[in-house]
Structure 1
Amino acid sequence: MLVDSHCHLDFPDFAAERDAVVARARAAGVRAMLTISTHVAKFDQVRALAETYPDVLCTVGTHPHNAAEEPDVTADTLVALARHPRCVGIGEAGLDYHYGYSPRDVSQRVFRTHIAAARASGLPLVIHAREADDDMIRILSEEMEQGRFAAVLHCFSSGPELARVGVELGLYVSFSGILTFKKSDELRAIAADVPLDRLLVETDAPYLAPQSFRGKRNEPAYVAETNRVLACVKGLSADEMANVTTDNFFRLFSKARGLVPAVTGAAA
């Protein structure tokens, strides 16, 4: 069985056929889907999906693109919202310097708030990092010295140094459909060096459909292709890789244990 460790089922891209999208994921062997919060103000939407579908879980947090919209959300607020039974993580939060939607100082402050919430709640932090490797390495290193916390570098597309430091700090590394792209040789080389017990797979749906589905809207069922490519990189069968990444998911997101059916069934 597979887990899509990062998707956005609340996005309007899925509104017209959300039941069908979930059903296709189940048919593809996806045991669980983690739908990720991007606005704390919209947490009710992801929470409702986790309450509706028995194999969907959620997180709470502010995406770095939206940090300037929610600069004053406190760690206490995040911790309180994360007490919901089906909320298993904090985030996604982090740094994204590609578009510059939020000032860098605001993004960094909001990111540290989410780290504090992860530390206080004991839940893992879902980290978004894009074109910010140096600051990400610095902040993660500084914050780990203040107290350890669990985390995953989601949709990894950064350089080898961030992957190396992340693993040294105890983080997990999650790969999306980008891993399958024809020009992603460098990323596949990075994945080859990540220890098996730190690997996750995801779709980041509706974005970044894998190579076989390029140009289409991504969805959780397509995580199977990323898993297959990652298996090839690590010299495993697809089934072996699925077992590894699923075990890793439930080890990292330990609150999720027992919250999803062992075998997915009909649409909720």
Structure 2
Amino acid sequence: MLIDTHVNIHGEAFENDLDSVLNRAREAGVSPIIAICSRLSDFDAVRAIAQAHEDVFCTIGAHPHHAKDRPDITPDELIEIARHPKVVAIGETGLDFYYGHSPEEAQFASFRAHIAAARETGLPIVIHSRDADGPMAEILEEEMARGAFKALLHCYTGGPELARRAAALGAWFSASGIITFKKADDVRTVFAEHVPEDKVIIETDCPYLAPVPKRGDRNEPAYLPYVAAKLGELKGWSIEETARRTRENTLALFGRLPQ
């Protein structure tokens, strides 16, 4: 079985056929899945889906796009919500300087609050990073020096330098459908050459980033095997070894998932 470590299934994209989507995932050998909270106000909807399905788990966090909505978020608020037994991680959080939907200072403050919550709870932190390799590496190094925490750079598209510095801190890296894209040679090189074998996991990030040959379609967890196949090709693993390794790596990261 494969584990989809990052899905966005609480919005309009899946409101009419979510049960069918989850059933197709299971039939494709994908279970469990982790439903991501990327806006604090969405947590109730994300949690409701997790509570309704035994093999769906969730996170609590605010994407950097939404850091401006609650720049004053505190670690204690996140910690309290994370007590729910279905919550397996803090995030999605991080830095996004490509779109700049939130001021940089708001992103920094929100990100550090999430890190503090991850450190206190022992839960991993799900990190989004775009056009922010230098500041991301610096914050991770600064914060890790204050006390260890488990970090996941999800849907990794950063460069080799951030990969090297994050790997030195023990971070995990998640491959998405982007590794199948025609123009993603740089991303494939990072996964092939710079991501440790025991720190790589997989995701769909659905409904976005559908992998080849589903490019252009609404993405869904049932398409995760295409990501796994490409990762295996890059690492020189069979599909069976890819499934085993990514599952073991995922369970080592997300301690609240059924072991």
Q: TM-score, normalised by structure 2?
A: 0.98
After TM superposition, the runs of 4+ consecutive aligned structure 1 residues lying more than 2 A away are none
Aligned to 2:13: 13
The percent of aligned pairs where both chains have the same amino acid is: 49
C-alpha separation in 2, matches of 1:2 and 1:41? 29
Give the match's secondary structure for 1:213: coil
Give the match's secondary structure for 1:21: helix
Aligned to 1:263: none
Aligned CA-pair RMSD: 0.8
User: Is residue 2:208 matched to residue 1:207?
Assistant: yes
Query: What is the Cα deviation at residue 166 of structure 1?
Result: 1.0
* Per-residue deviation, residues 139-175 of structure 1 (Å, max 9, x unmatched): 1111011111001000001111111111110100001
User: Is residue 2:151 matched to residue 1:151?
Assistant: yes
C-alpha separation in 2, matches of 1:11 and 1:155? 19
User: Is residue 2:80 matched to residue 1:80?
Assistant: yes
Query: What is the Cα deviation at residue 257 of structure 1?
Result: 2.2
* Per-residue deviation, residues 37-64 of structure 1 (Å, max 9, x unmatched): 0111221111111101111100000000
* Per-residue deviation, residues 73-131 of structure 1 (Å, max 9, x unmatched): 21001011011011000000000011110000110110000000000110000000001
Instruction: Trace 1:125-136 onto structure 2 (pairs within 5 A).
Output: 125-136=125-136
Aligned to 1:264: none
C-alpha separation in 1, matches of 2:79 and 2:212? 38
Aligned to 2:235: 234
C-alpha separation in 2, matches of 1:157 and 1:239? 25
Structure 2 gaps of 5+ residues are none
Instruction: Trace 1:1-268 onto structure 2 (pairs within 5 A).
Output: 1-193=1-193, 194-258=195-259
Q: Which has the higher contact order (CA 8 A, sep 6+)?
A: 1
Q: TM-score, normalised by structure 1?
A: 0.95
Give the match's secondary structure for 2:38: coil
* Per-residue deviation, residues 212-245 of structure 1 (Å, max 9, x unmatched): 1111111111111000000000111111101110
Aligned partner of 1:93: which letter? Answer: T
- The count of aligned residue pairs is 258
Give the match's secondary structure for 2:58: strand
Give the match's secondary structure for 1:10: coil
Aligned partner of 1:160: which letter? Answer: P
More divergent stretch after superposition (38-47 vs 58-67): 38-47
C-alpha separation in 2, matches of 1:56 and 1:250? 14
